[in-house]
Amino acid sequence: MPEPLIVRTREELRAATSGTVALVPTMGALHAGHLSLMEHVRPLADTVVTSIFLNPTQFAPGEDFDEYPRTFDADVRKCATVGVDVIFAPTVEVMYPAGLDGTVRVDPGPLGRILEGEHRPVMFQGVLTVVAKLFGLVRPDIAIFGEKDYQQLTLIRLMAEELCLGVEVLGGDTVREDDGLAMSSRNAYLEREERALAASIAAALRAGIDAAGGGEAAALEAARAVLTAHGIQPDYLVVTDPDLGEARPGQEARMLVAARVGSTRLLDNVAVRLGG
């Protein structure tokens, strides 16, 4: 397949797209999960745009902005294998022309202050702000985000609807390693012993699925038992409805977990159907 066209300015971007446009926003350090999103939208649009931008506004001081993997050349080669047409790789100045302190920001509202929002208070404001900017710059018909970051996906869908952005937001299935670990760019931080331990997070969710016929409490108890057996204390382990509200017996639900393995913070989630 031909190499994607790399564009870095607003003017170059506008000249590079035509027809129906699909956007796959990323921060780089691409893996098979990202590539599956690109493959998903390839038959749905005339032009597939992948953005590679490590967004500073979603990192708080002391988080891993400086350490986050930067693998641009390898990312370009990976995009080529799945038929991406355009890579939008802007600078901070292009994305935030008023500066990081002077920019208008999107308030994620109450749904952005629970779960991840409680533990990383600035993240969702930064995510929604940069995604809104990307929607305005790329003008996509559709955009896709991975379900691995389920709360993020839910908030982006809500933003697109509430702000009438005219973008259809799709979710892509979580891609997993052979032992079940959800693929993430941050998995590269794990030491060998930590990497083996990290698979217990997915094992806990599988235990929750198996126990969900007994209801929410049974699902949580089963999942927590697996984590405890491996010495993992989660930041949160919850069951919600698919919109992150209160789960209801006999209905589809979502189990979400965040936990540290060593110094690496990992997220995962699965769909469950509660008994009752």
Annotated binding site: 27-34, 58, 146-149, 152, 175, 183-186
Residues belonging to the binding site for beta-alanine are 58
Identify the active-site residue in 34, 40, 119, 230: 34
Angle, CA 23 vertex, CA 53 and CA 87 arms, to 5°? 50
Instruction: Annotate the chain with three-state secondary structure.
Output: CCCCEEECCHHHHHHHCCCCEEEEEECCCCCHHHHHHHHHHHHHCCEEEEEECCCHHHCCCCCCCCCCCCCHHHHHHHHHHCCCCEEECCCHHHHCCCCCCCCCCCCCCHHHHCCHHHHCCCHHHHHHHHHHHHHHHHCCCEEEEECCCHHHHHHHHHHHHHCCCCCEEEEECCCECCCCCECCHHHHHCCHHHHHHHHHHHHHHHHHHHHHHHCHHHHHHHHHHHHHHCCCCEEEEEEECCCCCECCCCCEEEEEEEEEECCEEEEEEEEEECCC
119 included as an active-site residue:
no
Annotated binding site for (R)-pantoate: 58, 152
Question: Known catalytic residues?
Answer: 34
